[in-house]
Amino acid sequence: MRLVVFPDTQSAGRAAAREAAGLLRSKADVNLGFATGHTMIPVYGELVRLHEEAGLSFKRARTFNLDEYVGLGRGDSDSYYEYMMHRFVEQTDLSEDWFFIPDGKAPDPEAECERYERLIKECGGIDLQLLGLGRNGHIGFNEPGSSPESRTRVVALAEKTREVNETDFRKAEPPRHAITMGLATILEARRIVMVVTGWEKAEILKAVLTTPPTSEVPATYLHDHPEVTLIADREALEKYFQEIVSFGYEMKVTPPR
């Protein structure tokens, strides 16, 4: 795992966007795996800027989102579908036909999971997967206890996850279930970039970096992947910096610009 440290949230987000942009420039028909949440806002902001100011095109790309709440989807302001439309799809030249996300409103959620998993495989798999990190160590909505063999499925959300996400819901309380790519699905991506920012993530980031793979901290399974870049800001790392350094990570600390 390669670890790159940036001075703040915005510069970390821009760096993650540049990872995706660099791949897109070398392979126009790339399959990108996307995440949502507050950490990803500067990532999409930079991708939109690169599209508008530097001509970065998504016309031949496909995007696959990690997850969606059960019961939410197109037209629901609290859905990840609308999050992506507002922050990325409507501001770029990505075809809506090639923007893929689990359908949280599907009448048969289990069948939807099978369809989504099959779609990813039929399209050739994911070239680069962007990830955030939940405060309990989840990636996607693979909560503690998730199997590394898991595939796209319906999951019950941990209470800690629902508490953290509560401020994002304006009309109702957070749903109790979601559809998520499984850990095995995520780990089949050819490259993974995980973005971790903010002092609130310091404890869990230390756990991820210093703990062998365990289902109690699902993100630790990233240690089993050969091509992972972890992009963090100073707030997320400085409290345990020396302890993390002692584990021998290949680390690059980027100074403020």
Note the pLDDT tens digit of each residue in 201-219.
999 999 999 999 999 999 9
Note the pLDDT tens digit of each residue in 219-244.
999 999 999 999 999 999 988 888 88
Note the pLDDT tens digit of each residue in 149-171.
999 999 999 999 999 998 888 76
Distance CA 241, CA 217 (A): 20
Q: What is the pLDDT of residue 168?
A: 85
Q: What is the CATH number of the domain that holds 108?
A: 3.40.50.1360
Q: Are 46 and 156 in contact (CB under 8 A)?
A: no
Structural domains of the chain, count: 1
CA distances from residue 246 to 3, 73, 137, 243 in whole angstroms, order as listed = 13, 44, 21, 5
Note the pLDDT tens digit of each residue in 112-149.
999 999 999 999 999 999 999 999 999 999 999 999 99
Strand order in the sheet with 191-196: 99-100, 62-65, 31-34, 128-131, 191-196, 228-233, 2-6, 250-253
Q: What is the pLDDT of residue 244?
A: 87
Distance CA 167, CA 146 (A): 25
Structural domain range at position 27: 2-253
Q: What is the pLDDT of residue 255?
A: 66
Distance CA 50, CA 64 (A): 20
Note the pLDDT tens digit of each residue in 34-57.
999 999 999 999 999 999 999 999
Give 210-215 contacts, CB < 8 A, sequence gap 24+: 210/243, 210/244, 210/247, 213/148, 215/144, 215/145, 215/146, 215/147, 215/148
Backbone torsions φ then ψ of 44, nearest 5 degrees: -70, -30
Which of 122, 128, 56 lies closest to 88 in space, CA to CA? 56
Backbone torsions φ then ψ of 27, nearest 5 degrees: -145, 95
Instruction: Tell me which residue has tokens 């955030």.
Output: 132
Which of 19, 18, 30, 86 lies closest to 58 in space, CA to CA? 30
Q: Could you list the active site residues?
A: 67, 136, 138, 143
The answer to which of 60-74, 110-124, 184-198, 229-243 has the lowest mean pLDDT is 229-243
